[in-house]
Amino acid sequence: MAASIPTTPHANAGGESWSNDWVQLELVDPDAAETGYGRKRNALAILGFIALGLVLLMAILGPELAPYNPNKPDPAVTLQGPSREHLMGTDQYGRDVFSRVLHAARLDLRVAISITAVALIVGTLVGGLIGFYGGVLEHVVMRIIDVILAFPGFVLALGIAAMLGNSTRNVIIAVAIAYIPYYVRLVRSEMLALREQEYAAAAKVVGVRKIRILLYHLLPNALPIALAQATLTLGWGILDAAGLSFLGVGIRPPTPEWGVLVGEGAQYINSGQWWISVFPGLAILIAVLGFNLVGDWARDRFGPR
């Protein structure tokens, strides 16, 4: 919009001073792609898409591209640095780190998507219901949410995961619980505004039941804001799941998973075998970065307001 307004400094030459101020205001419009700010953001988004593409590629084709069996030990090549045969070196059992990182991508992505799906669905439904109906239930749920938010999210997930026991499913549940409150708050506040919309009243006038107004008319309109949040959860979800596995309360060690891999290599960093931890760590970095940058872009682009 701003791009179509003539911003030449001379366009208002001889005009009154207020019109020059107005042109100045237009020049700093953050939406204008021509400005340095806009260009920088576009570059970040492209970087995000490249990172995300890389992760998706690993997840889809990883097992086919992996040169070795990720779980097969080879006593002949233990603790070897990166080389032509083993691009990312080998670990203490002689397993190929590159193959293990590739295989882990699919599991990590699946975990991230599951976490996000659970948090999104549960959080949106709960937030929508309490925002729409209000009353005592709203107060009770919001206070519970406050209590959950009082814990640092990762510590909470750690506690829940330790309580439930090691398994992929439990990691997903633990991390999802830590993220549900954000969705509840977000969707509830959106619902408070949406329920006053006139199309909600119009639906009421033609005799639509309350629950249908909520499910068919209001929740779909609250979805964009929840989906923008979901892109961020995908990234942080990977980080949290990997973190739990690293600390030993997540996915069990032999399974190739980025957090597990970093944890396995941690004890060798001091003795100089950095590659066992660093390469899976980089994979986590790329994935989280990709989801976050793309998430920021999506929020600017499709997010509310």
Partner 1 sequence: MTEMHRPLLAIEHLSIGFPNERDGTMHPVVRDSSFVVNRNEVVGLVGESGSGKTQTAMSVLRLTKPPGQVLHGRILLDGDDILQMNDIQLRQVRGNRAAMIFQSPRTSLNPLMTIGNQVGRIYTRQRGMKKKDAGDATLEMLRRVGIAGPARVAASYPHQLSGGMAQRVMIAMMLACDPELLIADEPTTGLDVTIQAQIFELIQEIQQETHMALLLITHDLGVIAEVCQRVVVMQLGRIVEIAPVDTLFADPVHPYTRRLVGSILRPDLEVLPAAARGNDFPPVVLEVGGDRYQAVSVDSWRSVNVGRPEMVEVAPGHQVLAHAVDAPSEAVA
Which of residues 93 and 133 has its CB atom nearest to partner 1 in the complex? 133
Nearest residue to 188 (alpha-carbon basis) of 146, 232, 138 = 138
Say if residues 31 and 2 touch (Cβ distance below 8 Å).
yes
In angstroms, the CA 304 to CA 131 distance is 18
Place of tokens 């986590």: 284
Nearest distance from residue 193's CB to partner 1, in Å?
12
Cβ nearer to partner 1, comparing 22 with 216: 216
Between 207 and 272, name the residue whose CB sits nearer to partner 1: 207
Q: Which amino acid is at 3?
A: A
Q: Closest approach of Cβ 224 to partner 1, in Å?
A: 10
User: Which residues contribute to the site for partner 1 (CB under 8 A)?
Assistant: 196-199, 201-209, 217, 220-221
CA distance 285 to 273: 20
**Residue number with CB closer to partner 1 (6 or 207):** 207
The tokens 């209001």 sit on which residue?
Answer: 218
Least distance in angstroms from the C-beta of 220 to partner 1: 5
Q: How far is the CB of 203 from partner 1 (least distance, A)?
A: 8
User: Would you say 70 or 128 has its CB closer to partner 1?
Assistant: 128
Beta bridge partners, 96, equal: 90
Do the beta carbons of residue 107 and residue 167 sit within 8 Å?
no
Q: Which lies closer to partner 1 via its Cβ, residue 188 or residue 217?
A: 217
Least distance between partner 1 and beta carbon 135 (Å):
10
Contact indicator for 232, 153 with CB cutoff of 8 Å: no
Reported residue count of the chain is 305
Reading the block at residue 117, the tokens are 């799906």
Separation of alpha carbons 305 and 295, rounded Å: 16
Nearer to partner 1, 26 or 138 (CB): 138
Which CB, 131 or 250, lies closer to partner 1?
131
CB of 223 to partner 1, least distance (A): 9
Nearest distance, CB of residue 113 and partner 1, angstroms: 24
The angle, 0 to 180 degrees and rounded to 10, between the axes of the packed helices 258-269 and 97-133 is 130
Which residues are paired to 90 by β-bridges? Answer: 96
Please count the other Cβ atoms lying within 10 Å of the Cβ belonging to residue 146.
Answer: 11
Query: How far apart are CB 130 and partner 1 at their closest, in Å?
Result: 16
Distance of alpha carbon 297 from alpha carbon 3, whole angstroms: 20
- CB proximity list for 196: less than 8 A, separation 6 or greater: none
